[in-house]
Chain A
Amino acid sequence: ETGVTQSPTHLIKTRGQQVTLRCSSQSGHNTVSWYQQALGQGPQFIFQYYREEENGRGNFPPRFSGLQFPNYSSELNVNALELDDSALYLCASSFSGRIREQYFGPGTRLTVT
Chain B
Amino acid sequence: DAGITQSPRHKVTETGTPVTLRCHQTENHRYMYWYRQDPGHGLRLIHYSYGVKDTDKGEVSDGYSVSRSKTEDFLLTLESATSSQTSVYFCATSPWGAGGTDTQYFGPGTRLTVL
* Chains A and B belong together in one complex: no
A interface residues with partner B (beta carbon < 8 Å): none
B interface residues with partner A (beta carbon < 8 Å): none
